[in-house]
């Protein structure tokens, strides 16, 4: 997977775009914007960020490796855990708060790993 990590990021990004846009249309049609933060973060952390990760690994192929794969799983599991938890919290289930904390920390860990790769890739 590490050789194709750029393509995997680009492909999963458009899946987040398609699902997030469907969510936006559903939200508009139903006049119920209560899940807006889920929509916003799904698209910004899923569609926009993952596409940028894909372009980065395409531009800096020397950084493709185990670290990039680790980052992929941290970013994706983190986003899904965060989205489910925030969706539950916004639907009157505050007991999902630890899920939001875990999801956020996974996303932060993924960004730290990505920062390491960006600094490694742009050294010269
Ligand atoms: C057909 C596509 C889309 C529809 C119908 C849609 C619909 C909506 C709706 C109804 C809201 C809630 C507005 C409010 O309550 O103030 C919203 C918020 C938002 N959407 Fe979308 N959206 C779409 C695509 C996108 C895309 C592609 C992105 C990101 C690349 C995006 C990012 C956001 C963000 C960041 C917010 C929060 C804005 C704020 O802070 O007020 N949306 N969207
Ligand atoms: C672990 C990562 C993140 C966490 C825990 C987080 C948390 C939050 C919280 C608590 C709010 C306020 C929501 C409200 O008042 O209803 C917010 C708003 C927002 N965040 Fe984030 N955020 C994260 C990452 C990001 C990233 C990476 C972006 C952009 C690429 C972003 C863009 C936004 C935008 C546009 C808003 C205003 C729209 C909204 O209220 O949902 N966030 N975020």
Report the alpha-carbon distance of residue 101 to residue 95 in Å, rounded: 12
40 lines ligand 2 (CB under 6 A): yes
Pocket test for ligand 1, best of 25, 32, 36 (most atoms within 8 A of CB): 36
102 pLDDT band, cuts 50/70/90, is: very high
Please give the residue range of the domain that contains residue 19.
5-121
Report the alpha-carbon distance of residue 55 to residue 48 in Å, rounded: 11
Which ligand 2 atom minimizes the distance to the CA of 100? 5
Answer whether residue 1 shows pLDDT above 90: no
57 pLDDT band, cuts 50/70/90, is: very high
107 lines ligand 2 (CB under 6 A): yes
Q: For the chain, what is the domain count?
A: 1
Across residues 89-94, what is the average pLDDT?
Answer: 98
What pLDDT score was predicted for residue 77? Answer: 98
What pLDDT score was predicted for residue 43? Answer: 98
79 lines ligand 2 (CB under 6 A): no
Answer whether residue 118 shows pLDDT above 90: yes
């Amino acid at each position: 997977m590490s050789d194709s990590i750029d393509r995997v990021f680009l492909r999963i990004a458009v899946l987040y775009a398609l699902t997030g846009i469907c969510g936006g249309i559903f939200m508009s049609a139903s006049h119920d914007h209560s899940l807006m933060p889920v929509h916003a973060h799904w698209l910004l952390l899923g569609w926009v960020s993952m596409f940028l990760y894909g372009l980065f690994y395409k531009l800096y192929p020397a950084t493709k490796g185990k670290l990039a794969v680790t980052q992929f799983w941290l970013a994706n599991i983190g986003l899904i855990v965060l989205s489910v938890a925030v969706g539950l919290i916004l639907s009157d289930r505050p007991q999902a708060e630890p899920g939001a904390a875990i999801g956020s920390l996974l996303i932060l860990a993924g960004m730290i790993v990505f920062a390491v790769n960006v600094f490694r890739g742009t050294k010269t």
